[in-house]
Amino acid sequence: MESSVPTQIPGQNAILIGTDWYPEQWPESRWEEDLRLMEAAHLKVVRIAEFAWSTMEPSEGRYEFGWLDRAIALAAKHHIVSVLGTPTAGPPAWLTQKYPETLRIDENGRRATHGIRAHGSSSSPRYRELCRRIAEQMAIHFGRNPNVVGWQIDNEYGYALMSYDDITRKQFQDWLQAKYKTLENLNTRWTTSYWSQTYDNWAEIPIPGESHNPGLRLDWKRFTTYTWSAYQQNQIDVIRKHADPRQFITGNFMGFFDGFDHYLISEPLTFASWDDYVGTGHVDPIANGLTHDLTRGFKKQNFWVIETQPGAVNWSNINNFQNRGEARAMAWQAIGHGADDVNYWQWRSALNGQEEIHGVLVGPDGTPVPFLEEVSQTAGEFDKAQNAFRGTVPVSEVALLYSYESHWAVQYQKHTEKYDDIALLKSYYGALRPLAQSIDVVSPYAPLDGYKLVVAPNLNVLPKDLADHLLAYVHNGGHLVLGPRSAMKDEFNSLLPQRQPGFLIDALGARVEQYYALEKDFPISGALGSGVATVWAEQLKTNAPDAQVLLKYGKSNGWLDDQAAFVTRPYGKGRITYIGAILDDKLTSAAAQWMAKESGIAPVFGPVPDGVEVSRRVGEGKQVFVLVNYAPEAREVTLPHAMKAVLADRPVENVSLPPYGVEVLLSTK
Ligand code: GLA
């Protein structure tokens, strides 16, 4: 466990609620009233300035930070700390007018125009220079301000949009040259003799579109990650140079958005943040919990929900409002999964602009909307729970592996339009989460010791170094479970010259004979019960006497009839399991129960009724549990032993939770 938790700001509360505030949109005379209302609602943080470039630098080289000094000072007077966003997702008109090469060019060759956002080109040297300048000026000015606790770089990293211009193509070619050294090497790795793709010089290599070579496409994604990392680093460097090390640096990500590899881009950040929006409909606690755990896994530490939905958004199909109590449940769920802050986007609607009718905490008239009441209640509860959460982090015995490279590789060649690797990840998460009550989602390259069970539902790209890493884990006593399509490709997105699961065939004592995209479900049964294989099925064949078959296909397409679908084998001090089919929900759940039993996984809290989610954070000599009831009826929870109910402020042995009900339980046992 981490000795210090970087998101718990020294001298501040352990868990915070805040909002995204845009003082530049309002007369200064109004600010005090905004902040008074925030303070009354127990809000502790504002994120500011991430779209205020034209106000901070109204013309080239003329910096106006006085207004922001005053806004930050006034916030501090109301016991609110500030997080500064660098404004580089919104370059001002004078900039794009004077330096048109800073505007992104889309895949069809069209240059972006001013008046939108994320219109800058992340690969333009000129744009980088201008971004560096504003970030540096901000860091010089605010880097020692005691009321500025940290920085957010850019905003949602321009959705990872790339510029399809000559400069970018040349950078890509140079990047490829640095990676492959010789064209011969590149041609071999990408098998360019196929369709006469052979490259004779680096300048011939195109920026890929959808019909290009899978090796080229995967490298373009890596280059995209590299570009946005460099874009981010350009600003981090100047902030780190001038700012107090106490100030954190984060980036706001978007859950499973797959524009770049989030493990890599998160590396230089103090911690990761994400923007948690439901959009149409209502929170799916499994999907939302999974996404919190994904974000926590970017750096394997606590994170922030730096934006979340204040009732409704403006960009979904139906911008319905969250039910009363739903946002409070979501805020507590975030904390349970390792968030140390939840910020509502946004405080007050701008009177004009693209997001005029997005949800807010304060209406255009400057008075609270009813939703603020719920935020205020939740923030008051956060106040009450500070001590319980100080120094705590989630700790898990089960890890799910999520790899961007494997995700992209499968996306490029889905083989069936129904293949959805994230849905598969979610189905294993949904089945395992209630059994373990805490799951980490991590990169396949993350250290795995300490986990009793590691499940990799989609490790399509599994080169030798990764196989060695996984085998070492199994050898030392871990249980590795692989899903369908595992270990088909190497890091160049080339097929491995073995059958699946590639370098793991010997350890598994079995291999995949043939794979099938399914147009209809096929029966499947065995020691785990019976049901159907859906979407995808692989025919496995064992070649070791101790490789056990736990599920077989029934009568299906002839090829799969009576063939193995699920194989497990002891290996070293541990075990390796391969599940070659996408199983229906009932069988997925049976498989999860088998995995948990086989690996000695028990729920960290103990049994809870259906619809109740338990999460745990662990600190020095204490455990703190967050219970949230997502069922439409009340639920009674019996505790494993007496604990302190932190919100109810009394010792309890049972808790009664209404729909969307929450309790925080502190155990020092
Ligand atoms: C994103 C952005 C915000 C705002 C919200 C609206 O998360 O970061 O600036 O546009 O969406 O939902």
**Is there an atom of ligand 1 within 6 Å of 473 CB?**
no
Residue nearest ligand 1's atom 7 by CA: 275
The first and second tokens of residue 156, run together, are 């949602």
> What is the position in ligand 1's atom list of the atom closest to the CA of 252?
8
**Is there an atom of ligand 1 within 6 Å of 459 CB?**
no
Q: How far is the CA of 254 from the centre of ligand 1 (A)?
A: 10
Question: Within a 10 A sphere around the Cβ of 226, how many other Cβ atoms?
Answer: 20
- Taking alpha carbons only, the member of 288, 373, 300, 295 closest to residue 332 is 288
Residue nearest ligand 1's atom 12 by CA: 313
CA–chain centroid gap for 548, Å, is 35
Q: Tell me the C-alpha to C-alpha distance, in Å, between residue 168 and each of 113, 153, 216, 493.
A: 19, 22, 15, 22
> What is the position in ligand 1's atom list of the atom closest to the CA of 156?
8
**Is there an atom of ligand 1 within 6 Å of 355 CB?**
yes
Residue burial 169-201, b: 16+ Cβ < 10 Å; e: rest = bebbbebbeeebeebeebbebbbbeeeebebee
Residue nearest ligand 1's atom 4 by CA: 345
Contact 291, 330 (CB under 8 A): no
Q: Give the model's pLDDT for residue 4.
A: 60
**Is there an atom of ligand 1 within 6 Å of 440 CB?**
no
CA angle 224, 245, 156 (to 5 degrees): 30
Percent of the chain topping pLDDT 70: 99
Mutate-to-test residue for ligand 1 from 50, 51, 155, highest number of ligand atoms within 8 A of CB: 155
What kind and span of H or E run contains 467?
helix 464-475
- The CA distance from 411 to 128, in Å, is 31
Residue nearest ligand 1's atom 1 by CA: 275
> What is the position in ligand 1's atom list of the atom closest to the CA of 275?
7
For residue 494, which amino acid is it? S
Tens of pLDDT, residues 53-93: 999 999 999 999 999 999 999 999 999 999 999 999 999 99
pLDDT band at 590 (very low <50, low <70, confident <90, very high): very high
**Is there an atom of ligand 1 within 6 Å of 157 CB?**
no
- The CA distance from 386 to 126, in Å, is 45
3-state class (DSSP) for residue 363? coil
> What is the position in ligand 1's atom list of the atom closest to the CA of 307?
7
Contact 238, 132 (CB under 8 A): yes
- pLDDT above 80: residue 1: no
What kind and span of H or E run contains 241?
helix 214-242
How confident is the prediction for the chain on average, in pLDDT? 97
Q: DSSP character for 489? A: B
> What is the position in ligand 1's atom list of the atom closest to the CA of 313?
12
- pLDDT above 90: residue 516: yes
**Is there an atom of ligand 1 within 6 Å of 156 CB?**
yes
- The CA distance from 510 to 577, in Å, is 10
Which residues touch 372 (CB under 8 Å, ≥6 apart)?
37, 41, 361, 362
CA R_g for the chain: 26
Strand 303-308 relative to strand 398-401, pairing: unpaired
Strand 453-456 relative to strand 398-401, pairing: parallel
**Is there an atom of ligand 1 within 6 Å of 275 CB?**
yes
**Is there an atom of ligand 1 within 6 Å of 261 CB?**
no
The first and second tokens of residue 321, run together, are 């409002």
pLDDT band at 158 (very low <50, low <70, confident <90, very high): confident
Residue nearest ligand 1's atom 10 by CA: 355
Q: DSSP for 409-439?
A: HHHHT-SSTT--HHHHHHHHHHHHHHHHS-E
Q: How far is the CA of 279 from the centre of ligand 1 (A)?
A: 11
- pLDDT above 70: residue 161: yes
What kind and span of H or E run contains 273?
strand 273-276
CA–chain centroid gap for 632, Å, is 28
For residue 406, which amino acid is it? S
| Peptide bond connecting 623 to the previous residue in cis, omega within 30 degrees of 0 | no
Mutate-to-test residue for ligand 1 from 345, 346, 348, highest number of ligand atoms within 8 A of CB: 345
Mutate-to-test residue for ligand 1 from 321, 355, 360, 361, highest number of ligand atoms within 8 A of CB: 355
**Is there an atom of ligand 1 within 6 Å of 276 CB?**
no
Q: Give the model's pLDDT for residue 60.
A: 98
Q: Which residues pair with 81 in a beta bridge?
A: 45
State the catalytic residue, choosing from 24, 50, 136, 156: 156
Contact 231, 131 (CB under 8 A): yes
Q: Give the model's pLDDT for residue 626.
A: 98
Mutate-to-test residue for ligand 1 from 154, 157, 307, 346, highest number of ligand atoms within 8 A of CB: 307
CA atoms within 13 A on the CB side of 261: 25
- State mean pLDDT over 656-664: 98
Contact 540, 512 (CB under 8 A): yes
Q: How far is the CA of 613 from the centre of ligand 1 (A)?
A: 28
Higher-confidence residue of 3 and 177: namely 177
Mutate-to-test residue for ligand 1 from 21, 47, 257, 275, highest number of ligand atoms within 8 A of CB: 275
Tens of pLDDT, residues 232-285: 999 999 999 999 999 999 999 999 999 999 999 999 999 999 999 999 999 999
The first and second tokens of residue 205, run together, are 């290599």
**Is there an atom of ligand 1 within 6 Å of 494 CB?**
no
Q: DSSP for 2-38?
A: -SS-TTS-TTS-SSEEEEE--GGGS-HHHHHHHHHHH
- The CA distance from 485 to 456, in Å, is 11
pLDDT band at 5 (very low <50, low <70, confident <90, very high): confident
**Is there an atom of ligand 1 within 6 Å of 53 CB?**
no
State the catalytic residue, choosing from 24, 50, 136, 307: 307
- State mean pLDDT over 382-399: 97
Contact 124, 102 (CB under 8 A): yes
Q: How far is the CA of 376 from the centre of ligand 1 (A)?
A: 21
**Is there an atom of ligand 1 within 6 Å of 256 CB?**
no
The first and second tokens of residue 243, run together, are 């700012």
Q: How far is the CA of 319 from the centre of ligand 1 (A)?
A: 14
CA atoms within 13 A on the CB side of 432: 33
Residue nearest ligand 1's atom 9 by CA: 155
Asked whether the whole model's pTM tops 0.85, one would answer: yes
Q: DSSP character for 159? A: G
**Is there an atom of ligand 1 within 6 Å of 374 CB?**
no
> What is the position in ligand 1's atom list of the atom closest to the CA of 50?
9
Q: Which residues pair with 574 in a beta bridge?
A: 571
- The CA distance from 127 to 102, in Å, is 5
The first and second tokens of residue 221, run together, are 């994604």
**Is there an atom of ligand 1 within 6 Å of 22 CB?**
no
Tens of pLDDT, residues 179-228: 999 999 999 999 999 999 999 999 999 999 999 999 999 999 999 999 99
| Peptide bond connecting 501 to the previous residue in cis, omega within 30 degrees of 0 | yes
- The CA distance from 487 to 492, in Å, is 13
Contact 587, 551 (CB under 8 A): yes
Tens of pLDDT, residues 593-624: 999 999 999 999 999 999 999 999 999 999 99
- The CA distance from 540 to 547, in Å, is 11
Instruction: Name the H helices within 300-370.
Output: 326-336
Which residues touch 182 (CB under 8 Å, ≥6 apart)?
none
Question: Within a 10 A sphere around the Cβ of 331, how many other Cβ atoms?
Answer: 26
- The CA distance from 331 to 385, in Å, is 13
Look up 156 and say whether it is catalytic: yes
Kindly tell me the burial class for residue 610, based on how many C-beta atoms sit within 10 Å of its own C-beta (0-12, 13-18, 19 or more).
exposed
Q: Give the model's pLDDT for residue 369.
A: 98
pLDDT band at 625 (very low <50, low <70, confident <90, very high): very high
Q: How far is the CA of 240 from the centre of ligand 1 (A)?
A: 26
Q: How far is the CA of 50 from the centre of ligand 1 (A)?
A: 11
Question: Within a 10 A sphere around the Cβ of 138, how many other Cβ atoms?
Answer: 27
